Structure 1
């Protein structure tokens, strides 16, 4: 927990680049920050102004409930019951500072020392969000399960879950994964979700599902399975990828006993999430604005960016290069695999820095990238590209990526 995850250390390079006085433009294909889409920005500004005008003193001038403001909790309950036919109440909801903070609270509550020994956090399939690797307060408290690989037509591949390997893990306190996944864009298939819920039920442990990129918002996945309402599942949602990354606002929906345990953590650590932005989010849910943004602005934006990036990669990467792209159901990234012995994600990272381009080396998304012969090769041969920048940045960044790969191949 006290060490920077790999992607956070890259932020230091990006900060240094911001002080570059050469006059050259840096191309940043690394960020997880969502794009600033004008319709999204304008809508949130309008809703925020409404919240300020109608209740600034009420929301900002006094402390509120640790579960979350009544106006937002009630809006969440109504929204999810109407959309999915659930029967949840306020006791099933906890508002927090984004999915990562909610995941940290759950990890702290459900893993670590226990009556029967240590309880570990298990990521059922790596690669997964690099921020998860800093959630545990205990050394060795996180384990990532190696995936299978399915080769598909053309230049595509897909990771598969090894449910038997997940079931074989010992000393498990909690499972956690993102769907659609960061960095791959992979969504859970119904059979995989059923298998993970079955394991959680057998072990009597929580399965925490991070829907930061999924349904109902920002909804950038196609054909995603609906969030499940299950006694062993804690669903985490965020407004970050729907246009409010700087406000750090999310919420968890789950069984009352699990939510109560996380609620105690909230009350004891930071009392509650900021209330003015909670009122703003409640307006987005109650008016349907969040659904309009999802369907009219956010989903089309990333769908078009994905198509553009895939075409550029096919057009610009050398034909002789053995490269593959993870087939995606959505998400905000491209996950690229360069399958050559001469390739290294860190060497590419440095080569692209010299060309004033930032990407994220693939090894940072694996808990133990050298844990097996397969991972030792595969994890260091992948790279993540963001789809959030402007199309011109993506196009020029991929062009420089192609140049760097040609140079690396020529120097082998």
Structure 2
């Protein structure tokens, strides 16, 4: 059967998906030695977090199974969960939202996909694109548009800091110059970098959204209020051109695919109709569980007392290991500590290539994620042409001995690559 142009684009094998299949194939092999996997986006299986979610799920299963799983529900989300979200955000941030500002969906990525379909693509005056205001950003965004060339990534500015650190910044004027804009999308803290958006950059993006009369979609998958793994952060903004998106994935239940959007009624209403037309509603048993987690304060407690300290400590350990083990002869830099669940390394040498490192580390039974998968091709600026292939993402989710061994093997691979040139 012949695929449509949209079918060919959406049915293609993305770079990150090919790596996940590569990992699954290697892990199922019979070769000797232990694989060290520093690539996953899964949150760590923290015992207290998994135990709390298991208890809450069991309570929901016992008390709400028939009404949650035995019948269809509202496309907006269950009345109980939507009401809990409204009360929580109004109390925490002093907002004045109602149920009409909320949509529960099957995770942030699905909500972002629906918003992309609603606000980008063919218009009477021509096509409008999804703009990522600063790449690198979450690799899953590259599959959100069904139209070829429907996504553009804006090259960032770079601040060089002490102690082998650096930080990406938003080039707001470059964002403002983008033609044919239908929506902007940014994660904060960012995946893969951990970059947290600052108040001045956020104000600038909201100003551009107003000027162009387009939505700014803010993905808070790693941010406040949960899982809250940002070291510094600004509160989610309530603004007529902002769609805020939140998820429970990084708070411990990624497999349940539950998130919710909060935004202006007109935008939420369009996404609500998309939900009803495509898949009716998000899974309901996890909605009942999420309601209990938020209303009881259990989710807030896990965020502040368990998840945030866990990843802060992991980051400090990883930074220490990188400084101790990576060779001084290699010009490497780490994106500044601001949040997230990853380390983002920049190796600034002509001899370095992220895919070459990926293959070299595979031979040493280590998996990482090549940096190019977090940028939007084509890499048509001088900066991106070099930089997009000189980065690599390391996960902080594995246990500390696994991270340490992975960094040791990474250091050896870098020495060998440098020596070969």
- Name the TM-score class by shorter chain: over 0.9
For 1:55 and 1:344, locate their aligned partners in 2 and report how far apart those are by CA, in whole Å.
Answer: 52
Q: Which runs of structure 2 are paired with 1:257-296 in the superposition (5 Å)?
A: 257-296=266-305
SS, match of residue 175 in structure 2: helix
Count of matched residue pairs = 412
Other-structure match for 2:316: 307
Whether 1:197 aligns to 2:206 is yes
Question: Contact (CA 8 Å) 1:66, 1:263: kept in 2 or not?
Answer: yes
For 2:109 and 2:61, locate their aligned partners in 1 and report how far apart those are by CA, in whole Å.
Answer: 27
For 2:195 and 2:294, locate their aligned partners in 1 and report how far apart those are by CA, in whole Å.
Answer: 26
1:312-346, Cα deviation, whole Å (9 max, x unpaired): 00000111111100102110000000011000000
For 2:205 and 2:109, locate their aligned partners in 1 and report how far apart those are by CA, in whole Å.
Answer: 21
Other-structure match for 2:188: 179
For 1:32 and 1:298, locate their aligned partners in 2 and report how far apart those are by CA, in whole Å.
Answer: 15
Q: Which runs of structure 2 are paired with 1:1-20 in the superposition (5 Å)?
A: 1-20=10-29
Q: Which runs of structure 2 are paired with 1:5-404 in the superposition (5 Å)?
A: 5-368=14-377, 370-404=379-413
SS, match of residue 228 in structure 1: coil
SS, match of residue 25 in structure 1: coil
Q: Bigger shift: 178-187 or 3-12?
A: 3-12
Unpaired runs of 5+ in structure 1? Answer: none
1:343-398, Cα deviation, whole Å (9 max, x unpaired): 00000000000000000001111102521121111111100000001111100000
Post-superposition shift, 1:236? 0.4
SS, match of residue 28 in structure 2: coil
1:227-284, Cα deviation, whole Å (9 max, x unpaired): 0000000000000000000000000000000000000000000000110100000000
SS, match of residue 112 in structure 1: coil
For 1:224 and 1:370, locate their aligned partners in 2 and report how far apart those are by CA, in whole Å.
Answer: 30
Unpaired runs of 5+ in structure 2? Answer: 1-9
Question: Contact (CA 8 Å) 1:178, 1:210: kept in 2 or not?
Answer: yes
**CA RMSD of the aligned region, Å?**
0.7
SS, match of residue 400 in structure 1: helix
Post-superposition shift, 1:22? 2.3
Other-structure match for 1:405: 414
1:25-53, Cα deviation, whole Å (9 max, x unpaired): 11110011000000000000000011111
Question: Contact (CA 8 Å) 2:232, 2:339: kept in 1 or not?
Answer: no
Question: Contact (CA 8 Å) 1:3, 1:134: kept in 2 or not?
Answer: no
For 2:370 and 2:265, locate their aligned partners in 1 and report how far apart those are by CA, in whole Å.
Answer: 39
1:293-324, Cα deviation, whole Å (9 max, x unpaired): 00111101100110010000000011111110
SS, match of residue 385 in structure 1: strand
Other-structure match for 2:7: none
Q: Which segments of structure 1 move beyond 6 Å, counting only runs of 4 or more?
A: none
